[in-house]
Amino acid sequence: MWMSIVLILISYAIPLIIYSLGVDAFKYVMAALCGLGLLIGMAVIFTTILFIFTSTTSMILYALLCLSVLYIMSNIIWIFITFSTSNKNKKTIFQ
């Protein structure tokens, strides 16, 4: 399980590092990954709501629902952060 979490973090961290180095094309890679994250989050929310209505409710399902909403909110924030910075005013790691 921990290896899966590390792989997910690495798959998000590599484009973020390249984007922070100043490669402007990775703005679109970040947007695509955030869009994929939004789709995954919506699927998890849909599945969780389906389980809540069809089976006995558990506090774990409500926690999963809250975490999924937070996950979607973080992806939306990352999309706004990625596209809100101007190319001329953006500071990179090496500047």
Residue 31, in any domain of the structure: yes
Residue 71, in any domain of the structure: yes
Residue 90, in any domain of the structure: no
User: Which tens digit of pLDDT belongs to each residue from 61-90?
Assistant: 888 889 999 999 988 988 887 777 655 555
Give the pLDDT band (50/70/90) at residue 20.
Answer: confident
Residue 48, in any domain of the structure: yes
Residue 92, in any domain of the structure: no
Overall residue count recorded for the chain in this entry: 95
Judge contact between 93 and 80, C-beta under 8 A.
no
Print the domain residue range for 60.
Answer: 7-84
The pLDDT of residue 46 is 93
Domains contained in the chain, number = 1
Residue 56, in any domain of the structure: yes
Burial tier of 19 (Cβ tally within 10 Å: 0-12, 13-18, 19+): buried
Residue 32, in any domain of the structure: yes
pTM of the model: 0.68
Burial tier of 33 (Cβ tally within 10 Å: 0-12, 13-18, 19+): buried
The pLDDT of residue 93 is 54
Task: Say how far apart CA 59 and CA 78 lie, in whole Å.
Answer: 29
Residue 21, in any domain of the structure: yes
Give the pLDDT band (50/70/90) at residue 39.
Answer: very high
